[in-house]
Chains A and B, each alone.
Chain A
Amino acid sequence: MIPELGHFALILALLLALVQGVLPIVGAQRGNATLMAVARPAAHGQFVFVLLAFAALAYAFLTNDFSVENVARNSYSKLPEVYRFTATWGSHEGSLLLWTLILGVWTVAVTVYSRHLPEDMAARVIGVMGLVSVGFLAFMLFTSNPFLRLTPAVPEGNDMNPLLQDPGMVIHPPMLYMGYVGFSVAFAFAVAALLSGKLDAAWARWSRPWTTVAWMFLTLGIALGSWWAYYELGWGGWWFWDPTENASFMPWLAGTALIHSLAVTEKRGVFKTWTVLLAITAFSLSLLGTFLVRSGVLSSVHAFATDPGRGVFILAFLGVVIGGSLLLYAWRAPRLVSGGGFTWFSREALLLGNNVFLMAAMGTVLLGTLYPLFMDAMGLGKISVGPPYFNAVFIPLMTPVLFLVAIGPLVRWRGDDLPALAMRMRWAFAVALVTAALLPLTLDGMNLWASLGLFLALWILFGVLTGFLERLKNAPGGLLGKLATLPRSFWGMQIAHAGLAVVVIGATVVSNYEEHRDVRMNVGDYVDLAGYRFLFMGTHPVEGPNYSAMRGTVEVFRNARKVATVHPEKRRYHASGMVMTEAGIDYGVFRDVYVSLGEPLSDSEWVVQVYYKPFVGWLWGGAFLLALGGGLAASDRRYRIALRRNTEAMATAAQGTRA
């Protein structure tokens, strides 16, 4: 009964989404206030019904209702309760429902925080989000119904994929989707602006905090995914250039370009058409990413291409959203007038450079991800594009971006003096260069890649430092007072840039200086690696809730002193029979030691993999700083003041009409 109610709630949500998508936009075009006023109640109603559907599906999972096909395929009665709940979005159908639910969360947030917007603008934005929701709800109802019954019902489920039974995977998809779907707000603002023809600095100011918050979630989502891969896949890799990773990385690159381009549009009124195009691109890539991972196209192009339901629907949906918005763009964008001028050496020009390289990098990732699918679909042979391709194109294209990150914030709008900037930064440049050249020499001999990465990271950090020093010099009061006067957007930018430098340090050091050995070990054997001694103490059997495991004990010594004991595991999950490796990791600020079990060779003897991973934690620490910076920037005072002032003005106006 409950699943049928959930199904029914989805149908009602689709009807309300249609109302939300059509009436307010028509009303806005005709200036009809009654139709525009439909936007908010329809959006709230739609959200309530999607939430009910989600609750119904979660209930089916929590109560082990194996008469629902989705539950039978993706859950198991002995699965711990928290994973039974998260299995709700573990499948294709469930993840679409989560996507739609999060779209509802963002839409409700827009209805609440858009009261200061002109009514027609708010109506159009909410309407466009309603249309996106129509697409997803229709896709679910017509091709991927999560509530489909299984007749006859089965007594036991197939279990959730063991790889996903992990705390990291519990929060990774919602974070990622908060980011993907958040870009729909920027997209809706862009389409609304194109529809109305009013695209000004105010438009950029409204879009900016939404976009930055979405970018913050996407950053966290990607970082969590990378961390999960690191500890869960058992060989210590943190980025694979796998299509599923690229799917989330492409919208991130476009989103990063977008938040910088929005800054220029807000401050200077230029790059308007480019910013709108980026908003459309970022959301289109989010859609592409969702479908790439969820449609099964990656595991079999042919099954996807010949599936008359899902494949055709997805291609049609992508075609309508991307093609439609680009058509609208081509029709309306030439009318937009750009604002003031700037010279070739100005913050505008440098941000343009950053945008060009970010988008070029995004394009190469897109090509590397889609090209094998395209070749396969055309029957032109099977190829794979691996990390060597991506490293060869991505690193050279990101190098100029990283170089510009350091100086961009130090250069004035409109135009600045290059020789003067060179003077301001000469010490920073010299110190970064010398340190980056010498540090690898003292460690391990000359290493150009390590030097390049370290130089860029130090250069960015010195740029951040210079930015603070110059701002403080001109501010009144003591040091703490001075720091307190700096706006949050400034803090946000500098912390995010410093976070980027930290990520670069982590990636550079771990890629160039990690060490690894596979060894055959019996109880009491040891192996030395990077100054650490790993002593294998043997394994013993352990019973988990839905798996049996062999649990190893490895003691780690440094200079004859014990620094850690780690417990790598080899698990066999009962329902699926799948074997999984759980790494034993000792985390540290400057290094992780990482041990995982390979195959058993006899009762007591194992192949053991030991890794020394210097600075690997900096990758995720830096990503956290990036996200923190985004959060600070989005909470800047000027957005809140603008909001309050507008609300007050409207309240006064409302009182005036009442009086």
Chain B
Amino acid sequence: MSHLKNKSRMFWTAARLSAVLALTTAGVAKSQAAEGSGLGTADAPVQIRMIANEAFAKQWQTNMVPEFNKTYPHIKVTIDGVPYAELLPKSVLDLTGAVPTYDIIIADDPWIPQLAQTGALLDLKKDVANWTSPDYDWNDFNSAPLAAGEWKGAQYGVPLRSNLLLMFTNKALYEKAGLPAPTPKLTWAEYFQQAPKLVQDTNGDGKPDAWAIDTYFMRDSLTPTIWQTILNSNGGALLDKDNKPAFNNEAGVKALQTHIDLLKYAPPGGVSHGFNESLQAFRQGQVATMFMWGSVFKGTAVDAATTTLKPEQVGIQVMPVGSKGPGAHRGIWSGAISKKSANQQAAWALLQWLSSKEGEVWHANTLGVFPARKSTLAKAPENAWLVPVYAALQQGYDAAEAGQMWRPRHPKSDAVQQILADETSRAISGEISAAEALNNAARKIERLRL
């Protein structure tokens, strides 16, 4: 496999050399020569390789790649899946090689700065501008998802799979409690007013069997995103302009305390619940609301194999409104290209196609992947279940943009998030107070010298 690939690489280097020679001697138009070789021909296809999250690598390989090959038949794409937890270190390690294995790297929201600081990523707005189609509309992207691929003024990634932390609601449980189904206007005050009524006994055996909320409470680097979003929707920020902690104050304590107070209305054992557990509790119809990544909507509301709920029972909307506005926390998967890749043009052809207006519509309609473009979100989706999702996404992008609701844009982003995870978990499990936890976290984050 790799042997073959090396051979084809050598071949293309040679081809490129001869193209350059041709350019200098005969003055052939450079773009044409490069295009002919960069995208492959029937006799000499180009091989590109991509590293991606195992959760969707196989789906892409079996569905997306054949669709891509309808337009670009001579680019062979291999996608290697890596478990989420190890994807970042594996990508960083690969980028550092003299001849990296991967041409394309798929990066989660906070990773672009960490990958870009290796100096091994292409600036997609500059370095490959020659190969960018004139109708590739950068301005059509919602600015929040596009910004996930940007760092220090360079656009290293394009949004391929967009996601937001949103509020899921079980309308049936709201009805049973005699409460109106929530709307995007729901405030935190109203939310906490209703929460006690949502802890209810639905089968009449005298014991509560449905609760108001389940979400991230356990020690996990994503748990702090819940109170970070609350902080943001109250107009606060995690770090100030100089990357100094700005959360160890009254606003921060209030946000974290709100997160802790949610636990009162969570099912027993909620303190050790995270992504998987809250998802299961919601899918079993045991909790009325869940703050969760929108991408789980299909498996939660539509797919009868994984959920007990029906689409009409499940609502999706932005998180409750704080003093500044509603909340939504950004989580975008961006595609980036290695600077040392020998097949930059083919790699960019794939990313461009998948994030183009047409590609994104196909991606959303066929695979149910969330889009980032305004034009896609404005069109009616083919699947009826995506209609409420699109509405929530558009609202969420606007909210995230207005409140800068994302993890720190810094090469040490994950280090910050780890520290917050520790202290958040200590506060949630009652070991220390919210104020104490935030002071500890601020002290440790300052020591990171961001």
Q: Do A and B come from one complex?
A: no
